[in-house]
Structure 1
Amino acid sequence: MNINVVYFARYREALGQDGEVLAGDFLTLDDVRRALLARGGEYALLAEQNLMCARNQDLCKLDEPVGEGDEVAFFPPVTGG
């Protein structure tokens, strides 16, 4: 299946891209994240404990199921003051 992956904020800057299409056998959003982590290097950012994510523009958790053509977004935790 193909998943559209989008990166925001410092993830986009560190990875040098807005997004990409990722092909593989994924059941959950965490499967997508783990496939990216396996690349090593800058993708280690996606191992952050407070990582935020969305599926098809709805905030969700890493156990969210994914399907063909879904958009998955990763972004760092939002801080405020």
Structure 2
Amino acid sequence: MLKVLFFGQIRERLATDQLSLDIAQLPTPLTVKALCEYLASKGEQWRELITTHSCLIAVNQTMANLDTPINGHDEVAIFPPVTGG
């Protein structure tokens, strides 16, 4: 199972902190971009948050780009941009 975690305002707006997804039901080859497209297909609110915000994504606690491959037992974290001082 692929574990997808949501943080910050993304978690609040989606009203969920995580999803467990069966990798067999997802597009192949599975990349960060393909996962984002899949999540965006879940409805307008998902599409708005995943595609119109500058989400940061980490795979197994390492920052990822759209071409990063995802495997069946990975942990993917999606969170809003962070600012600090």
TM-score by length of 2: 0.83
What are the ranges of 5 or more consecutive residues in structure 1 without an aligned counterpart?
none
Give the equivalent residue in structure 1 for 2:51.
47
Match of 2:81 in 1: 77
Tell me which stretches of 4 or more aligned residues in structure 1 moved more than 3 Å: none
Question: 1:36 corresponds to which residue?
Answer: 39
Q: Are 2:60 and 1:56 aligned? A: yes
How many angstroms does 1:50 deviate by? 2.2
Q: Per the alignment, in what secondary structure is the counterpart of residue 13 of structure 1?
A: helix
Normalized per residue, the structure richer in helix is 2
Instruction: Name the counterpart of 1:3.
Output: 2
Task: Kindly indicate which of the two structures has a greater share of residues assigned to strand.
Answer: 1
Aligned-partner SS, 1:77: coil
Q: Residue 78 of structure 2 aligns to a residue in which SS?
A: strand
Gaps of 5+ in 2: none
Question: Given the alignment of the two structures, is residue 19 of structure 1 paired with residue 33 of structure 2, yes or no?
Answer: no
Cα RMSD of the aligned pairs, angstroms, is 1.5
Q: How many residues align?
A: 80
Report the TM-score, using the length of structure 1 for normalisation.
0.86
Cα distance in 1 between the residues matched to 2:82 and 2:52 = 13
